[in-house]
Amino acid sequence: MKFIIKLFPEITIKSSPVRKQLVKQLRRNIRTVCRPLDESIEVTGKWDMLDVQTSSDEPSDVAAIADRLSCIPGIHQILEVAEYPLGTMDEMLEIVRPIFAEQLEGKTFCVRAKRGGHHNFTSTDLERYIGGELNQTTGAAGVSLKNPDVKVEIEVKNNRWFLITRRHPGLGGYPMGTQEPVLSLISGGFDSTVSSFLMMKRGLNTHFCFFNLGGHAHELAVKEVAYYLWDRYGASHRVRFVTIPFEGVVEEILTKIDNSYMGVILKRMMLRAASKTAELMHIDAIVTGESIAQVSSQTLPNLAVIDKVTDRLVFRPLATMDKQEIISVARQIGTEEFAKSIPEYCAVISKNPTTRAKPEKVEKEEGFFDFSVLEAAIENRRNVSVADIIADDLSREQVEVTNELAQDDIIIDIRHPTEEEIKPLKLDGREIVVMPFYQLRTKFPELDKSRHYLLYCDKGVMSQLHAMHLRDEGHSNVGVYQPDEIDNRKNKYK
């Protein structure tokens, strides 16, 4: 199958050297992301579009590749196309008619043609001929040039022509790796996941910094969503997940800081720790999920006081978005269900928060704070690759992983519904429960506690993270099913 990749429009208006650099990086990113699905995938093209050629025409393989392409920053649109040598318009009609005959039954349609090169016909000639013949020889309801039910799209390039069979919207933005890296503060809630996504979409290699306020279960939950974001939208590049233990910092604030200033000072401590971490990682910018006036610590006076503790650039991509807009984006990108199940630990810090923090008052309150506690938290941070995120937890807790099934084992397919629909898991004689990862926390406790369950996902990573999380919550009857093919694929593309 052949795909034509249309570039994000802002790429097309760049100067020639910049454009070449962006397109070169996009080609590399496409290969990196799609090669685990098709080792022989080819990506070519330099200027206004890219061609992606896969080795399989199987519908499930094509759907999987299209799904991955739709999540790569820098792509405006993905066209599934069939390519043919250019012949006569009669020969073109004989190819188009059987492909679209069923779709046109009882529907209005139009034919749109684009042409490049020297030919003895115009685009309009082609549209009129193909459209007229389809109208007469199929069960179409007629031609509608303004609002057709079906579009038949043809592109002619020199001595080849392409029939567009399907269009997919792209993510937009710039190719990952063409902008500088950033460190995004992530708590797992709506705001931090959406702000991280927006930076990734803009082409910034986004590393994650997590302040642990709620113990191991909190950390596992945030790792799950961080891995999902990276795997879905940023897998072309390696990123880090930094965990900073902040329970001691919170305790110090709760026992020594005036109640009304707790929230502001907590944010200042987080920004100090993030700035030091970013410095050690050679990163110049920090990302937060703050939105102006959403909560008391996010008023302009408070944000100004918070920012005084760092000389790093602080990005707030959600600054002018309201909560419903943020939730809508979370729903679109697949992080809504994660966010719903993660408590807002920061929200319990202050009961009577100030909305106009005074710098002199903040400095006075911080005089009571033992900064060695903050230094110890920074010193005890853990920094792991998101690609290898489970290794950090396996050192503390073992999860059963098997490629063999016992007689009574029940498989739970936890993949996203889109992935499960593209390639359903089929195991002869085995009971398989389809339960997307975001439903596990609410639905797993309802299952028969006397049975043994094995979680399954495409790469074996999300299943291990969720199994650890369930075990951490007291469920001992859960493990991971990891077929040999997953092990082989992971080793092959390491």
Distance CA 205, CA 177 (A): 6
Does the annotation flag 186 for ligand binding?
A: yes
Distance CA 459, CA 349 (A): 38
Q: What is the pLDDT of residue 417?
A: 79
Is 2 known as a binding-site position? Answer: no
Closest CA to 116 of 170, 48, 15, 23: 48
pTM equals: 0.80
As separate numbers, helices (DSSP H) first and strands (DSSP E) second, the chain gives 19, 19
Measured distance CA(72)–CA(52) in Å, rounded: 13
20 is in an annotated binding site: no
Is 3.30.1330.10 the CATH number for 2-169?
no
106: Cβ contacts below 8 Å, ≥ 6 apart: 139, 140, 141
Indicate the fold that domain 401-481 takes in CATH: Oxidized Rhodanese; domain 1 (3.40.250)
Our CA angle for 381, 371, 353, nearest 5°, is: 95
Blockwise average pLDDT, block size 10, the chain, 494 residues: 92 92 95 93 86 89 93 95 92 94 94 92 95 95 93 92 91 94 94 96 96 79 90 94 91 87 92 97 96 88 94 96 95 88 56 86 94 96 86 63 86 84 84 84 87 86 79 86 62 39
Superfamily for domain range 179-388: HUPs (3.40.50.620)
Pairing of strands 150-157, 142-143: unpaired
Residue type present at position 302: N
Q: Residue 125's pLDDT is what?
A: 95
Catalytic residues: 457
Strands (E), 271-341: 285-287, 313-315
Q: Is 298 annotated as a binding residue?
A: yes
Strands 49-53 and 42-44 turn out to be antiparallel
234 labeled part of a ligand binding site: no
Residue 404's pLDDT is 86
In angstroms, the CA 104 to CA 88 distance is: 23
Residue-level pLDDT at 390 = 65
What are the structure tokens assigned to 88, written together? Answer: 């006569």
What are the boundaries of each domain within the chain?
2-169, 179-388, 401-481
What's residue 493's pLDDT? 35
